[in-house]
Structure 1
Amino acid sequence: MERITVAVVVSMWAIPVSILVNRIVPDPYMDEIFHVPQAQRYCRGDFTYWDPMITTPPGLYYLSLAYVASLFPGMWFAKAVQSFSLLCSTTILRSTNIVFAIICSILVYDLLILLRPTMSKRKATLYAIVLMLYPVHWFFTFLYYTDVASLTAVLAMYVASLKKKYWISAMLGAFAILIRQTNAVWMVFIAANGAITYTENLYEKVFVPRNHKGIVFESNNLLLDRKDVPTDRGLRRRKISSSINTTDLSKFETGEHSLCHAPGAKEAHVVSPHLAQLMYFGLVSAAAFAPLYFNLGQAAALYHSFGRNKVLGSLLVLVALTVGFTSVHFFSIAHPYLLADNRHYTFYIWRKVIQVHWMMKYLLVPLYVYSWFSIISILGKARNRIWVFSFFISCALVLVPAPLIEFRYYTIPFFFLILHSQVTDYVRWLTICTLYVAVNIFTMTMFLFRPFHWDHEPGTQRFIW
């Protein structure tokens, strides 16, 4: 029932806003001018053509093709290819993401229940609805971009892993890569942590408390009880599916499919050591959950945690600040698209905040460091150190090679971060909900009702994340 509630609530805002967007902006916009024609080629049965400007694999187009075929099965079976291709309009293709947004909301609810078994279903329902309002995810629900489908595939993979359906998780991970290359990192992250959890559960079943004096090894009878202990076949299943994921990632890292290798537009997506991207992600994610991260209680908790060992705490702060200053000074990239495209909010953040004065990028470093220390501290309350460390490494593998500052790149790690953060009180969630709604109203109003024009290029331009 709760899943239905989440799906219905998401549908109640997604469908009306989608209708409004398609009425005011009926033609493909921004990256849609590449994605929509490519998907329409697939609808015509032309799987050989590839637009050289597209930088992601064709997973979204296959999903759209299956989606349109499910809407109009008669034409598909009748092989009315020409008529079928006409149904792949911009509006229909955009609605693919509406479906994925609804599925994604259900997956978020399931993850909340799986990760926090003691959480009430009412709270999980509320939290899932609020997370679906996360501004960047919410905005791209209404355009034909890969982000919503990518997030949905990764979360589905995670749900399957937590439910110990490892082969399904591996297959979903493979398809997630077919939507976006960098999902290979999250596939290995999920597989590795699934393997660790599996091993820990096995250890707990073999080593059980005998009495209050300590923990002793049980008799061999325990090992013979197939109902209590996972079998060798189960171990092999976990190892094989994990090895598939690891092999996939190794291919990406060794250059066969670089994590930032783009099928097209290679000159605009050259892999670069963009360490400052990690700093930006930390601050943006903390700001997106400001009631949790930016409050006196959290600041005091960090202060006391460093105060327990002043020497080590001071050293950690010094190292973090050094890394932060080094990152923004030597490894901060101003991509040509960032400097030239005033349709993106990052254009204004870069010019009006980060570059407003030569000192500003250095003055922001303490905020970056505070954000990351808070993220690690809050995650550490819910997950073990290996999980937190592997999350940080995964974020680095995804974000550091990306030369362009794009809030869309932060969506998947942000969801992992928030799903594993212990936020339980209604007041903070309602505050976050209010902030998200306000931001969404602002960004959609700017997109739909504040168009502008360029002197050097025809067409209507609109503000976008």
Structure 2
Amino acid sequence: MGKVAVAAIVSLWVIPISILLNHVVPHPYMDEIFHIPQAQQYCKGNFRSWDPMITTPPGLYYLSLAHVASLFPGMFYTKGASSVSDVCSIAILRSINGVLAIACSILVYEIIRHLRPALDDRKATFYSVVLALYPLHWFFTFLYYTDVASLTAVLAMYLACLRKNYWFSGLLGALAVAIRQTNIIWMLFVASSGIINITIDRQRDKADVDDPRASIRKNGQQAPEKRVIFGSNMRKRKIGGVVDASEHWTPTGSDSSKSCISGLVDEIVAVCLAILRAKKKFFVSFAPFIILLAAFVAFVRWNGSVVLGAKEAHAVSPHFAQIFYFGLFSALFMAPLSFSFGRAVTFFHSFWKNKPHGFFQAFLALIAGFISVHFFSIAHPYLLADNRHYPFYLWRKVINAHWSIKYLLVPLYVYSWLNICTRLGKFQRRIWVLGYFVATAAVLVPAPLIEFRYYTTPFFLLTLHSHDNDIMSWILMGSLYLALNVFTMMMFLYRPFHWDHEPGTQRFIW
């Protein structure tokens, strides 16, 4: 088992389904009608050509050129760049996402092994395969969209940061932003995680110096008493034990809402002080991130918008309801973990134990939810007009079926988000959880369109850091993903339909 097994298993569905899809849908579909001709222009060497309807940077097209060059080595040199356009076919361009999906599954495996070193290798392999089946990620593996490349670049950046290769992480961050500009938020999140890890390492080193038993441990001897300290990737870790404490640690009664707030403030202060005391070290370590951020700000100022094209249709909007949609969406796609009886009992018990603070938090969250869905729930024209997307039906048949539905869903939204925060807070530092929430909100709230593809990166980060070990829940989750994937692909391939007002075949898509 291991990353080779993960890659082999993912390849078992990537290759045959890619062949099937290219046979049934040989022409560009949906956003491919913009991306594929643009990539083919790059294949011809026309780097000044640009379709004004494309909103994302050209990172995927440059990756595609590298992909084509790897498949046909010497093509650029022996026959000239014009010949490359002959091999930049739709199938070849789509295949880049198949390759990236396999690479992404390996990155997921490596991140799981890094975050949870005590986890059994077979479980890490199984978890990686289940996440590779995540429906939004799985479906767009077979089309020429930016989603798979974007997720792969972000996870590669994050893994490099976890391994303390900050400069390499910054370079991968530049690649991620070149694929999708909203990845600048995840770049900032990754950099913040790196700063938090450095702060924790400094605190741990100081604790070892202050501990008279530090020399005993450094000499490889067992200290007579196990001591619990904070680790960089998990909430707590036992020194001198072979058990990963993150698998077993549960909140104690001292983790009340009041202590959580004071603990969060303490962590923020500790990080700020660490930065002030070692400004030069942090500046040198994270210089690529700083340069990238400055370049991005300059680009937005020059461009007048975050998006490159179709600026009117993608104007920034205060779509606060979007963050609540993500919470429920994630809970549903982790339903065996989120809505199990045991999970519900644990969740409500923690709130009952920490009353009245827990109830006050829930009350504030409910108020925020009602305000968001009432004043900041946006129905984008694309959402209302395009019946090829599943969100179109979700909006019409569920959210907008009756005026009361959107309010009745608020308790579910709040439960989902509180469940996310308690799950993450069980194993991650409070400042990390806050950073995750802020980054997710910064990516989703400005987006006026309900687009489930935007949820992929925060969903992966949530799942990777949840540390849920119930193998039966993971089996059920994998079965759910598999059933959804079969359904959506069958609908896409074999249930086409036509519009009266526009020629061509239409297909159902996420």
TM range (shorter): over 0.9
Q: Residue 481 of structure 2: which of 428, 436, 452 is its match?
A: 436
Q: Deviations over 1:157-202 (max 9, x none)?
A: 0111111111100000011000000111111111111111112112
Q: Deviations over 1:14-67 (max 9, x none)?
A: 100000000000000000000000000000000001100000000000000011
Change (3 A) 1:116 1:258: farther
Residue 96 of structure 1 corresponds to which residue in structure 2? 96
Q: Residue 283 of structure 1: which of 310, 319, 328 is its match?
A: 328
Residue 418 of structure 1 corresponds to which residue in structure 2? 463
Residue 378 of structure 1 corresponds to which residue in structure 2? 423
Residue 210 of structure 1 corresponds to which residue in structure 2? 212
- Structure 2 distance, partners of 1:257, 1:198, is 35
CA contact 1:259–1:398 (8 Å) conserved in 2: no
Task: Provide runs of 4+ in structure 1 moved above 6 Å.
Answer: 212-215, 257-260
Residue 367 of structure 2 corresponds to which residue in structure 1? 322
Task: Quote the offset at 1:332 in angstroms.
Answer: 0.5
Task: Quote the offset at 1:210 in angstroms.
Answer: 1.8
Residue 33 of structure 1 corresponds to which residue in structure 2? 33
Give the 3-state SS of the residue equivalent to 1:54 in structure 2.
coil
Give the 3-state SS of the residue equivalent to 1:440 in structure 2.
helix
Q: Show structure 2 runs of 5+ residues with no match.
A: 214-223, 228-277
- TM-score, L = length of structure 1: 0.93
Query: What percent identity do the matched residue pairs reach?
Result: 60
Residue 355 of structure 2 corresponds to which residue in structure 1? 310
* Count of residues in Structure 1 that have an aligned counterpart in Structure 2: 447
CA contact 1:130–1:429 (8 Å) conserved in 2: yes
Change (3 A) 1:298 1:332: same
Greater shift in the superposed pair: 152-161 or 244-253: 244-253
Instruction: Say if 2:458 is the partner of 1:456.
Output: no
Residue 261 of structure 2 corresponds to which residue in structure 1? none
- Structure 1 distance, partners of 2:401, 2:326, is 20
Task: Quote the offset at 1:301 in angstroms.
Answer: 1.7
Residue 24 of structure 1 corresponds to which residue in structure 2? 24
CA contact 1:182–1:260 (8 Å) conserved in 2: no
- Structure 1 distance, partners of 2:292, 2:322, is 25
- Structure 1 distance, partners of 2:293, 2:416, is 29
Task: Quote the offset at 1:205 in angstroms.
Answer: 1.2
- Structure 1 distance, partners of 2:82, 2:421, is 54
Task: Quote the offset at 1:317 in angstroms.
Answer: 1.2
Instruction: Say if 2:309 is the partner of 1:269.
Output: no
- TM-score, L = length of structure 2: 0.85
Q: Show structure 1 runs of 5+ residues with no match.
A: 216-233
Residue 75 of structure 1 corresponds to which residue in structure 2? 75
- Structure 1 distance, partners of 2:279, 2:375, is 45
- Structure 1 distance, partners of 2:49, 2:303, is 22
Change (3 A) 1:23 1:58: same
Greater shift in the superposed pair: 250-259 or 21-30: 250-259
Residue 134 of structure 1 corresponds to which residue in structure 2? 134
- Structure 1 distance, partners of 2:305, 2:344, is 36
CA contact 2:171–2:288 (8 Å) conserved in 1: no
Give the 3-state SS of the residue equivalent to 1:53 in structure 2.
coil
CA contact 1:151–1:412 (8 Å) conserved in 2: yes
Residue 110 of structure 1 corresponds to which residue in structure 2? 110
Task: Quote the offset at 1:382 in angstroms.
Answer: 1.2
Residue 246 of structure 2 corresponds to which residue in structure 1? none
Residue 168 of structure 1 corresponds to which residue in structure 2? 168
CA contact 1:260–1:401 (8 Å) conserved in 2: no
Greater shift in the superposed pair: 241-250 or 75-84: 241-250
Q: Residue 346 of structure 2: which of 301, 307, 324 is its match?
A: 301
- Structure 2 distance, partners of 1:60, 1:294, is 37
Q: Deviations over 1:278-318 (max 9, x none)?
A: 00000001100001111222222221222123221221111
Residue 190 of structure 1 corresponds to which residue in structure 2? 190
CA contact 1:261–1:269 (8 Å) conserved in 2: no
Task: Supply the RMSD in Å over aligned alpha carbons.
Answer: 1.9
Task: Quote the offset at 1:80 in angstroms.
Answer: 2.1
